[in-house]
Homo-oligomer: A and B are copies of this chain.
């Protein structure tokens, strides 16, 4: 379906948008125009059309006299192929395109989208990890995805085997976004064909490359950067050292996004990447509660934080007793109280407290506990 430059195959699309789409697509597909250069050219020249017009001159001044931008026909063919596949084009600054992506110099110049584009309006979190995941890892991915979905997040992943697929599947009811390494209509791996179909129907598929593109090794890091950029946090579940999930995590860090990882035993190779990330500063997560807590979205979720002796509220001072000793005793109860708390509450220094305690301990009024805790009796 090749048409002329100003033909409008979709009568409901205003011509200016159609022109923008075509020019943006041509600019994005022009040889050696990467994502960062795309945005730079757009900024320098005001529009994709103007940048396109300037390209040959820029190339000439750089010594390439034979440079040609992407032909109109090629861009028209891509537009047609995308629409045949049932996808729509999202352009930076245009409807549907996530505005927060534009904070990154290498935000995708175009995104093909298939499914519920409004999922992009939600807060997003990535759940990624090993393809050869253990069943424990898949269960963890599923639990994280379900719970983050229930907490209102769209769950982003890469449609790979293992962790990715488990996360997508678990988040189908609440909303999931698959970012594809190849074309929007090329399902890889083929075993995820049915899952991909359901994601297009109930969730959202995104692809940066032209429809029909078979994914190649070099496409995966490019795709991973989109997962990282889209997601407020990247949660890594089971990842071996040197794996693609770690690259996604590294990009998330470069983007200033949060990285969180599920730990595992050091003798389990599938945990090595996650443990490494935690050593390097990623947040250790045991479940969605930890994720939400790290995002400041939930109170301390677990009762079982590192055990500190519980502290009973100090009883009101007894008026019948007087002096430092009486105040000190009034502050203490049967449950151990940290010495620092007592020092602060009495407004005295540690030496004064220590002097007072010698008598009180011998008297049997106060008991000291390891770690600097005090109690009555």
Contact = CB atoms under 8 A, between A and B. Distances in A.
Contact of A358 (B37, B251, B305): B37
Interface in A242-268: 242, 246-247, 249-251, 254, 262-268
Contacts of A33: 361-362
Nearest to A33: B362
A368 interface: yes
A41 B58 CA distance: 85
Contact of A361 (B32, B263, B365, B371): B32
A126 interface: no
A53 to B, nearest CB: 14
Contacts of A140: 265-267
Nearest to A225: B370
A307 B265 contact: no
Interface stretch (A88-96, A162-170, A280-288): A280-288
Interface stretch (A11-19, A114-122, A146-154, A270-278): A270-278
Contact of A37 (B62, B306, B361): B361
A242 B305 contact: no
A279 B290 contact: yes
Interface string A9-44: 000000000000000000000011111110011001
Interface string A295-310: 0000000001111100
A36 B354 contact: yes
Which residue, A251, A262, A279, has most C-beta atoms of chain B within 10 A? A279
A61 B357 CA distance: 13
B266 A266 contact: no
Contacts of A264: 263-265
A59 interface: yes
A55 interface: yes
Contact of A263 (B251, B271, B307): B271
Contacts of A367: 34
A363 interface: yes
A241 interface: yes
B263 A225 contact: no
A339 to B, nearest CB: 9
Given A40-B354, A277-B306, 10 more contacts: A32-B364, A62-B365, A140-B266, A224-B370, A241-B307, A242-B304, A262-B265, A263-B278, A265-B271, A279-B284
Interface of A: 31-37, 40-41, 44, 55, 58-59, 61-64, 67, 105-106, 136, 139-140, 221-222, 224-225, 241-242, 246-247, 249-251, 254, 262-268, 271-272, 275-280, 283-287, 290, 304-308, 354-355, 357-365, 367-372
17 contacts: A31-B364, A32-B364, A36-B368, A40-B357, A58-B358, A59-B359, A61-B359, A64-B364, A105-B354, A106-B368, A221-B369, A221-B371, A247-B371, A275-B286, A279-B286, A280-B306, A284-B284
Q: Considering the complex of A and B, which 8 residue pairs feature the smallest CB-CB distances, nearest first?
A: A263-B263, A266-B286, A241-B304, A62-B363, A225-B370, A62-B359, A34-B368, A32-B362
